[in-house]
Amino acid sequence: MRRYATHVGVIILIPVAFLLSQTHLPKSSLGVDSIGSERHGTPVQPVLDKPMPLPLPASFLSLTKAPVLRTTIPERPREAIITYKVQAGDTLYGIGQKFGISGETVVWANAQEDNPDVLSIGQELIILPVSGVYHTVQEGDTVGSVAAKYKVEPTAITEFAANELKSPFELKAGEKVVVPGGQKPFVPRMVHAYQGPVPKDAIRGTGIFGWPASGMLTQKYWSGHRAIDIGAPTGTPIYAADSGYVAMLGWSNSGYGNMLIIDHGNGFQTLYAHLDGFNVRQGQSVKKGQKIAAMGHTGRSTGPHLHFEIHKGGAQRNPLGILP
């Protein structure tokens, strides 16, 4: 506060001093013009015919920056591996964002590749300090072979402090090492298309999809989650994204809880999971926009939401590239 008061005072005094330097002193104050010219009848030139600047103290002519008694300590990156308990509404992608790492890193460190959407409240997850792979050393592994497997330089492993590796950098079977920047190839989830009979009255899909529910997009499509999640209160209506027939309906032991699949008869299938209840039956023909179920959080889920997938020829497609 004293620092700012000093600066303001200086700024105010400078223009005041300048105005004083431009001021002429009255002639009568010297007793020359008023007396000499009237007494002798001859005009006398004023002595102060030019402005005389007043000298300013040196302190007015320069501003000195006062020292700031404050130290900024840079935030250091986390190096330790920690655990995190899943909370209501969490997704693997969101947890990754919370800790500044990729969603894939959370998937790989916790063996969630087969079903990354399946989480339960209170579940403990390993959280790495950086994006990469948490590798369990196998018999015969070397730093070089592990680095090559995950497409990084060996120094990425040896120079990472949390690994606590010392020359000659020998690895022991069973120990775990962090591979910063490492990548695992995507392993597609196996899905099985409906092979039952097609209902005679089945409506063929239009190929133009609509949103299956209203709500907030809580998780997007990414390499570890080839679907989208739409969050909304339990009981929110879920609609058929396109016309077709209900190819599968019931409880899934994979963690999806109540789920159903609609076959659209044109190579597309849509999957709806974590449902609270159904409004259709298996084999029933449905129209685009028809209510088919209610949103819930059955199965392994951290909150009410719809897990929605679009399949074409057995492959999972990005719904955000297909929906309007």
Residue 116 to residue 229: CA distance in whole angstroms: 12
pLDDT score for 188 = 58
Q: Both 33 and 91 in a single domain?
A: no
Tell me the pLDDT tens digit for each residue of 211-234.
999 998 888 888 778 889 998 999
- The alpha carbon dihedral of 136, 103, 90, 277 has a sign of negative
pLDDT score for 78 = 73
Q: Distances in Å between the alpha carbon of 31 and those of 21, 34, 41, 52, 86?
A: 22, 6, 15, 19, 95
Assigned domain for 193 exists: no
Q: Both 223 and 317 in a single domain?
A: yes
Tell me the pLDDT tens digit for each residue of 38-57.
444 445 444 445 555 555 55
Assigned domain for 196 exists: no
User: Residue ranges of the alpha helices (H) in the chain?
Assistant: 2-21, 38-40, 92-98, 103-109, 143-149, 154-158
pLDDT score for 107 = 86
Q: Both 42 and 93 in a single domain?
A: no
pLDDT score for 159 = 92
Q: Both 31 and 87 in a single domain?
A: no
Q: Both 116 and 154 in a single domain?
A: yes
Q: Both 233 and 314 in a single domain?
A: yes
Please say whether the beta carbons of 273 and 254 come within 8 A: no
Residue 202 to residue 24: CA distance in whole angstroms: 105
Assigned domain for 246 exists: yes
The predicted model scores a pTM of: 0.54
Q: What stretches in the chain show pLDDT beneath 70?
A: 1-77, 113-117, 186-196
Q: Both 88 and 133 in a single domain?
A: yes
Q: Both 257 and 288 in a single domain?
A: yes
CATH of residue 135's domain is 3.10.350.10
Assigned domain for 152 exists: yes
With H, G, I as helix, E, B as strand and everything else as coil, classify residue 155: helix
Closest to 82 measured CA to CA, from 63, 57, 101? 101
CATH of residue 282's domain is 2.70.70.10
Please say whether the beta carbons of 119 and 89 come within 8 A: no
Assigned domain for 224 exists: yes
The total number of structural domains that make up the chain: 3
**Contacts with 128 (C-beta within 8 Å, 6 or more apart), sequence order:** 81, 101, 105, 109, 134, 178
Q: Both 56 and 86 in a single domain?
A: no
Q: Both 54 and 128 in a single domain?
A: no
pLDDT score for 39 = 42
Assigned domain for 203 exists: no
Tell me the pLDDT tens digit for each residue of 162-184.
899 998 998 999 999 999 999 98
Assigned domain for 302 exists: yes
Q: Both 37 and 129 in a single domain?
A: no
**To the nearest whole percent, how much of the chain has pLDDT over 70?**
71
Q: Both 313 and 223 in a single domain?
A: yes
pLDDT score for 38 = 42
Please say whether the beta carbons of 157 and 147 come within 8 A: yes
Domain with 49, as residue range(s), is 2-60
Assigned domain for 73 exists: no
pLDDT score for 47 = 47
